[in-house]
Amino acid sequence: MIGNLNHVAIVVPDLAAATATYRDVLGGQVSDPIDLPEHGVTTVFVNLPNTKIELLHPLGEDSPIGKFLEKNPSGGMHHVCYEVPDILVARDHLKAGGARVLGDGEPKIGAHGKPVLFLHPKDFCGTLVELEQV
C-alpha cells in the first residue's frame, strides 16, 4: 500500500540555525520557510536525491509540536511520511485493520499542497506516520 518515503521530519528549536546547518555544513538544497497555520508549524524542506528532510518549528503558542520541544529541547525526529496513491482508500484500509487516524480522520492539505493524514504512533512501532497522497 505505501509507496516511496516522502520525507523524514525533524523538530528543531531554531529553524534558521537548523537551515544553515543543512545548507552550509551538509551542503543541502533547502527551501524557503513555509508557514502552515492549519498545522501550527513553519517548515523548511531539504531536498535529497532520494527523499527530503522536513525541518519543523512551532508556529504560534498552540503548535502541536510545542510539547515535543518541551520534552526534547534540542529537537529530534518527529515523523516519517510515506506516499500513497489514494489517501481515502489507504485510510479506510488502515482503519479496517485497526489503525487509528489522528484528528477527525479527514485529510488536511499539507506542505506540498496535497492531502495528508497522521496515524497514531502506538500502531506503528512507536513512530508517528504521515501519509501523503501523490
Domains of the chain: 5-133 (3.10.180.10)
- Give me 114's grid cell: 496535497
Q: CA-CA distance, 107 to 50, in Å (whole number)?
A: 25
Query: CB of 78 within 8 A of CB of 127?
Result: no
Model pTM?
0.94
C-alpha cell belonging to residue 46: 531539504
C-beta of residue 106 within 8 angstroms of C-beta of residue 80: no
Give 48-82 pLDDT, tens digit per residue. Answer: 999 999 999 999 989 999 999 999 999 999 999 99
Given this model, what pLDDT does residue 9 score? 98
Q: Which residues are catalytic?
A: 130
Q: 39-50 burial by CB neighbour count: b if 16+ within 10 A, else e?
A: bbbbbbbbeeee
Q: Which residues contact 11 (CB under 8 A, 6 or more apart)?
A: 56, 57, 65, 68, 69, 72, 75, 76, 77, 78
pLDDT of residue 1: 85
Mean of pLDDT values over 99-105:
97
Residue 45 in this model has a pLDDT that exceeds 90: yes
